[in-house]
Amino acid sequence: MPVVEVIGPAVRTAISTTRNRRIGVIGTAGTIGSGVYQDMLGVNEDLAVFAQACPRFVEFVEAGVTDSAEVLAVAEEYLAPLRHAGVDTLVLGCTHYPFLEGAISYVMGAEVSLVSSDTETAKDVYRQLVSRDLLAGPDAVTRHDYEATGDSAQEFLRLAHRLMGREVRKREAGADRRHRPAAVAASTPREDPHDRQRSRGWPRCGPACAR
């Protein structure tokens, strides 16, 4: 079974996107401290890599706050060193950060290209599916299943609707197989006329959203 990780796809796209060979990376303190993006980008000796931890971005997203004046102020503070460094490509090295893409793009300026790890990973997954002839057929019905750790299923549903714009049709709250608190939700596209019929007895998929 092929395994698609989230670092390499974003790194490859950033390298092919940059024009002045100056690339910025933002992520959580743990990600930036690990140096994983810096090490992969640093293999190319002609690149200058600038990394910045942005821990409060995760707090904003998990609170459902993506467009406030405070978000912009914090973004200005975090991103100032990268602007001063003259990067022309910025890797969003956390899957929370695309929800703040508007604020990040506004602060960095239109001349800076943003590379999202989630988008590039999804493209790699698509390539894997196509190359192995594993794509669903044209008559397949799209279904989204989500599993998230946490104590409140209702909070998960609120954030899912706020951030993804999808109406959740089914939810369960309880402990998972390892006895951790869990909030589980399944949703289908609103334009699907048959989702009400399929809202019963869906199997769970693997964790798609974990906190």
pLDDT single digits (tens) 129-167: 999 999 988 888 877 777 777 777 778 788 888 887 767
Same domain, 102 and 49: yes
Alpha carbon distance 11, 9 (integer Å): 5
- On whether residue 148 sits in a domain, the answer given is yes
Same domain, 101 and 178: no
Same domain, 71 and 13: yes
Task: Name the residue among 126, 150, 124, 141 with its Cα closest to residue 7.
Answer: 124
Site of tokens 């954030």: 159
- Domain of 84: which CATH number? 3.40.50.1860
What is the domain range of residue 177? 144-199
φ, ψ at 24 (rounded to 5°): -105, 150
Same domain, 38 and 116: yes
pLDDT single digits (tens) 72-125: 999 999 999 999 999 999 999 998 999 999 999 999 999 999 999 989 999 999
Q: Please state the domain count of the chain.
A: 2
Same domain, 40 and 81: yes
Strands 48-53 and 89-92: unpaired
pLDDT single digits (tens) 186-203: 444 444 434 433 332 323
Same domain, 32 and 77: yes
Whether the CA torsion 83, 86, 88, 89 is positive or negative: it is negative
Same domain, 72 and 156: no
